Structures are given as C-alpha cells and as structure tokens.
Chain A
Amino acid sequence: MTDDAPDRLARLLALAARGDRDAFAALYRETGPKLFGVSLRIVRERHLAEEILQESFVAIWRRAGDYEPARGTPLTWMAAIVRNRSLDLARRGGREVPDEEGLHTAGLADETASPGADLERRTAAHGIAECLGELEADQRQSIALAFFHGLTHTELAAHLRRPLGTVKTHIRRGLARLRDCLARGGVTEA
C-alpha cells in the first residue's frame, strides 16, 4: 500500500456511502484480506472470522457515510469495526497462541530502529510502532498479545507464566507510556 492509499480508500468509502457497489467491491478487494487477518488472529476460527468479516463489511456499507479523516485512516476506521466485533464474539477454550507473536512485535520494534522501505508505507502505523519500540519487552509483549490475539488478562498470565497482577501492571504501565509517547510525538488525537 502506497502513501496515497488512505486517499484512495477514502474516495471509495465516499462513493460507497452514495450507493456505489463497484466502489465498495474495490474497497473490499483492497482491504478485505488485511481485515480478515485481523479477525482471524483474534477469534482463531476461520468460519467465525468469515462471519465477522461479512457482518463488518455490511456494517461498513451502511455506515460508510460516517467516516471522516478526523477518525483516522479509512483502514483504521474499518479495522476498529472488525476488532470490536471480533472481541465481542471470540470464543475462548485454551487454543494455542502461535509463538510468532514475539517475532511479530520484535519485527515492529526492529523496523523503527532501522526504518526500511516497508515502514514508509505504514504511515498511520509509524507513530504507534515507534512508541511500541520504547516499551519494556514485558509491556510490549503483553500489549501485543492482547491487541493482536485478543488474549484476556487471565490468558496472558497463563501464556506468559506470570502472576495475574504482574500482567495487569505491565499492560497498565505500557498503555500509559504509549499514550505519553504518542502525545509527545504529536500524533493526531481524534
């Protein structure tokens, strides 16, 4: 996705808001796979993720007129819809969380240390990725597992083999540092 992606998606959303089904189909082609990935990581069941993707896009079609740049990039706006629904519907049951999560967050932190061409395209993610790199490893890992995989405090404690209270502290402090870092970096607040 290039730098002009937010503009292109915003235009597609605006057209969809006026009932343009072709524009909405194009929006789905561009963003569907990424949003499916977002849901899949949280609910970890393909059929449930498909249902959530479907429900989310129907909601996006109906609420396309609500989108405005003040609410973030179009993809962020759509991702929030998918994440909310996924967190509402995720079923628990001792499923294995792939350990690649550690690699994923490490990858994010590395990219901010030595920015590559990859980072250039993630214009919206730049602020948060950089600030995530500033956290302690424990805080970063807990927050990443919660955000990407939808682990609850209890599940985090089990997965990381830490006391519940410790996990809650890591997240609380990590979130506070993220908020301060982002405020410092002048990231737009909605």
Chain B
Amino acid sequence: MKLSHPALRSALASAWVLGTLRGPARRRFAAHLAADADLRRVVARWESFLTPLAESVPPVEPPARVWRAIEARIAPRPLPASASLWTSLAFWRWTGAGLATACVVLVSVMLGLRPTAPAPAPPVVAKPAAPAFVAVLSTPEQVARVIVEDGGAGALRLRVMQPWPAATENDLELWVLPKEGAPRSLGVVAGDRDGVVRPANLAGLLDGGVAFALSKEPRGGSPTGAPTGPVVCSGPIARARA
C-alpha cells in the first residue's frame, strides 16, 4: 500500500472512516496512521464529515453488566498492566486448561484417593466426607502450584504443591472471580505452607464464583480492595454437583 499520492491517501482515509476498508487492509492502514501525523489529519477531516451521522442512530439500552465491567476496570489509581489479565480473554483461556486437572483431582478426592502433596498440614478442621468443590491454581506456564478446596464449616483448605519462599515485602492474596463483576478478596494467605482460610461469609463470597486466583500484593494485602499486583496462579472451580 503506497500512501504517497494525496488522492489515494484521501480515498483510503474515507474508506477507513466510512467502514469499507476492512480486514488486513484496515489493519495495515491503522499501522500507517500510527506513524503518519498528516494521514491522521486527513482521517480527522473525514471523521468530522461522516461521524456526526452516528448521532442519528436510535439508542439501545445496554445490560447492566456492561457498566459493572467498565467500573471494575477503571480505577482511582492506575493499575499495573498485568491487572488487565483479570478481564482479558487470554486469562480465561489459560485458566480453562486447569479445569481438566481440577476435575481429575475432584474425582480422585471423592473416591478417597489423595492427590500427592508435600508434608500435609495438621488438620485444623474436621474433613468433610468429600469436598463440594476444588480448584487447581496454575501459573501461566501451566505449572500447578496450589489446590484450593472446600474445607467445610465456612473454610477453604489450601494445599501448596510448590511452596514459595517466605516473602518479606509481599503477601499473596486469594481472590474468587465471579462470572461477571470484580474479583472478591478471600484474604491474605501463606505461600510457603498448606493452610486454611476462614473469611467472614465465605458462602456469600463464593456465590457465583467461577475461578480462584492468587495475586502478589503489598504486605497486608491490596490497599484498594481490588487486585493491584500480578496474578501468580489461577484456576477454575470444579464443583461436585451443578
């Protein structure tokens, strides 16, 4: 695509604004735009001609979930780039891979078989006959790090398959991700040993949850109530019964 001739530039700009320039040609033109300030001016002129037409389109009420999703992503303080993982498609793709593993774990636990783990923590809570749900949290590289399971009586059991060294200036915070809306905190957890979390109203927090995630936060957990650090590992929740 040679963009030297003014007539060609104007023709392409008008096609880009109107919408007839599509696919690979559209992407190529967008790349040109990024580097060519004069081309941006030509495009701006065509936008000033044509785009006002859009004001005549009849409004359609969007569902409430759209605003909730927007609100979750705009923060009072700028979030690090990794926070966009929470809503990006890529995130859901690699957590989806953990579902198969989680189902295997769930079935084996329910059959009374135990998944291998390092020195098990002393039981803090009476074990249920079988957990109602389990999640295998894996890193982006698909390494399983933590198993989170129903611990009964308002508690979650965490089995740390591969412990992290005890950190000094960071804490790991556990989040439950609902199908729609912002992640909900389940509190700070230890990354160097198995443990139990017992947040207030666990059942309410887990309601509608589809995945767990661990993020790296400042000491004491996120100061904002939303994740501020990178996702360390995550995985979908496999429930024993729909």
Contact = CB atoms under 8 A, between A and B. Distances in A.
Given A72-B52, A87-B19, A125-B52, A32 B62 contact: yes
B168 interface: no
Interface in A132-190: 132, 143, 146-148, 150-153, 171-172, 175, 178-179, 182, 187-190
Interface of B: 11, 14, 18-20, 22, 26-27, 30, 41, 44-45, 47-63, 65-67, 69-71, 73-74, 76
B87 to A, nearest CB: 8
Contacts of A148: 53, 57
Contacts, number: 138
B62 A36 contact: yes
Given A87-B19, A152-B22, A50 B66 contact: yes
A109 B222 CA distance: 56
Nearest to B23: A152
A80 B16 CA distance: 11
B60 A72 contact: no
A189 B45 CA distance: 6
Given A38-B57, A172-B11, A146 B70 contact: no
Nearest to A31: B59
A44 interface: no
Nearest to B58: A37
Given A37-B60, A87-B19, 18 more contacts: A19-B76, A24-B74, A25-B71, A34-B59, A37-B58, A37-B59, A38-B54, A50-B66, A54-B66, A54-B69, A57-B70, A72-B47, A87-B22, A125-B52, A129-B53, A147-B53, A175-B18, A189-B48
Interface size range on A against B: 35 or more
A80 B47 contact: yes
A13 interface: no
Which of A24, A54, A171, A178 has the most CB atoms of chain B within a 10 A radius of its CB? A54
A99 B3 CA distance: 36
B70 A28 contact: yes
Nearest to A32: B62
A127 B22 CA distance: 27
A50 B19 contact: no
A125 B55 contact: yes
Interface of A: 19, 21, 24-25, 28, 32-34, 36-38, 40-42, 50, 53-54, 57-58, 61, 71-73, 75-76, 79-80, 82-83, 87-88, 90, 104, 108, 122, 124-125, 127-129, 132, 143, 146-148, 150-153, 171-172, 175, 178-179, 182, 187-190
A117 B162 CA distance: 69
Given A61-B74, A182-B49, A147 B56 contact: no
Contacts of B45: 189-190
Contact of B63 (A41, A50, A146): A50
Q: Which 10 A-B pairs have the closest CB atoms?
A: A33-B59, A79-B54, A190-B44, A190-B48, A124-B52, A37-B60, A36-B62, A34-B59, A37-B57, A125-B55
19 contacts: A21-B71, A25-B71, A33-B60, A37-B59, A38-B57, A42-B19, A50-B65, A58-B70, A72-B51, A72-B52, A76-B51, A83-B51, A88-B26, A88-B27, A88-B30, A122-B56, A125-B53, A189-B45, A190-B41
Contacts of B62: 32-33, 36, 50, 53
Contact of B66 (A53, A90, A125, A129): A53
A76 B74 contact: no
A38 B67 CA distance: 17
Contact of A108 (B49, B54, B56): B56
Contacts of A172: 11
